[in-house]
Structure 1
Amino acid sequence: MITNEDQAKHYASELCDAAAMDKLERLTAELVHENERQNLVARATLQTVWQRHIADSAQLLKWGGEGSAWLDLGSGAGFPGLVIAVMRPHLSVVLVESRKRRVEWLERMISELDLQNCRVEGARLESIETFPAGTISARAFAPLDRLLALSARFSTKDTFWVLPKGRSASQEVQDLPKNHGKMFHVEPSLTDQDAGIVIGRGQWSKNQ
């Protein structure tokens, strides 16, 4: 369990190189500054930004794929999408965000951090052209059943689902249609002892 900023920074450093760590430092500094202009994250979490946002995002790499594009839904402040893009420069990362000011923030960070592997789709998910996603992530995007319904068309039999769900993770999986089989399970978060991450593999169908 990661319980403080030093542990969180060490954890992140084990997953990427020094250049990526420099970019993460710049990202956290810009986040603090931008949060004065718009409420990207809860102000209280800025005191533990590495634990609550950087390491919390980085841990998802354990369950994501390394091949096709990583699709991050409702990217908001850029977690986990920007962190994934920084730590895996070889991986194409697509950030979906419909709120104009959030889109501007994400685009600025992509430019300033020179994330040539990352782009923003500044629109609602329903209007984005379908493409096969290797990994689908979402942090506080929508209840699990609605999230799956909205993003099903981006999934294939090889898609990894990596969905932080906080305390509701187990209940949301239990509430899925009974015939969903063993497609999803819950893993404990490394950064919050009360939180869970919904993990899955495969193509989701509305008929499941």
Structure 2
Amino acid sequence: MKPDDVDVPRETEGQLREFVTLLLRWNARINLISERDEASIWQRHVLDSLQLTPLIPAGEGPLVDLGSGAGFPGLILALTTGRETHLVESDRRKSVFLIEAARVLGLPHVKIHPIRIEAATLPQASILTARALAPLTALLPHAHRILAPGGVAIFPKGRTAAQELTDATDAWIMRTERFPSRTAPDATILRLSEIRPAGSHA
């Protein structure tokens, strides 16, 4: 995967190139992505995040990304959607990187929360994302608390997706949509809505 293969407007592509350059420079000092992923950063991280964009329903409500790490997918989606975006990252070094990246890329609609998810003061979100953060059983309580009525959670998952859904059904009711990943043959993207605890009324 090369930068030229990313199907986005030219201005966004330029911002993505600038972001990747910044990330790789910082990665020499702090561990944002694994060193072995540097050569495949466009395929493994950028495109993996970009493929979520078409799954985001139209609208203008806030997007919240939990455990943002190096900015995947939250900062990438902030670039492609232009939405008010909140990145929650408790690791101080990573949150400093995210603050700098948002400044360099000129993204005033991005706010970084350098705090644990449970302690973050967040708006009711139209979109909630989390990538490689936790199993569904741990993510769904956050989704139920953070999502606005009608909001959706978009969670990229690996080969454990089906088992995670099975594990979650004892405690949670939700509408589930599955989409194949473009970047990994055994990965699935889950789009979840109408999330509520089992036994509660719709």
Cα distance in 2, alignment partners of residues 190 and 173 from structure 1: 21
Q: Please state whether the residue corresponding to 1:134 is helix, strand or coil.
A: strand
- Of residues 119, 137, 141, the one that matches 2:129 is 137
* Deviation (angstroms), 1:17: 1.7
Identify the range of structure 1 (76-85 vs 168-177) with the bigger mean alpha-carbon deviation: 168-177
* Deviation (angstroms), 1:28: 0.8
- Of residues 179, 189, 195, the one that matches 1:187 is 179
Match of 1:60 in 2: 52
Matched, 1:70 2:63: yes
* CA-based RMSD: 1.8
Q: Please state whether the residue corresponding to 1:158 is helix, strand or coil.
A: strand
Match of 1:47 in 2: 39
Q: Can you list the C-alpha shifts for 1:106-141, whole angstroms capped at 9, x where unaligned?
A: 000000000112110111111122421111000111
Cα distance in 2, alignment partners of residues 127 and 200 from structure 1: 23
- Of residues 122, 138, 141, the one that matches 1:146 is 138
Asked if 2 retains the 8 angstrom alpha-carbon contact of 1:74 and 1:141, the reply is yes
Q: Can you list the C-alpha shifts for 1:1-44, whole angstroms capped at 9, x where unaligned?
A: xxxx14x742x32xx32111101001111111111111111111
Structure 1 residue ranges (4+ consecutive) displaced by more than 6 angstroms after TM superposition: none
Q: How many residue pairs were aligned?
A: 199
Structure 2 residues without counterparts, runs of 5 or longer: none
Asked if 1 retains the 8 angstrom alpha-carbon contact of 2:62 and 2:127, the reply is yes
Q: Can you list the C-alpha shifts for 1:163-186, whole angstroms capped at 9, x where unaligned?
A: 011111111011112474551243
Matched, 1:114 2:106: yes
Match of 1:127 in 2: 119
* Deviation (angstroms), 1:94: 0.7
Q: Please state whether the residue corresponding to 1:78 is helix, strand or coil.
A: coil
- Of residues 132, 156, 162, the one that matches 1:170 is 162
State the TM-score, normalized to the length of structure 1: 0.88
State the TM-score, normalized to the length of structure 2: 0.91
* Deviation (angstroms), 1:151: 3.3
* Deviation (angstroms), 1:70: 0.7
Identity of aligned residues (%): 30
Cα distance in 2, alignment partners of residues 124 and 180 from structure 1: 23
* Deviation (angstroms), 1:63: 1.5
Match of 1:32 in 2: 24
Change in Cα spacing, 1:130 to 1:111, as seen in structure 2 (3 Å) is: closer
Change in Cα spacing, 1:88 to 1:153, as seen in structure 2 (3 Å) is: same
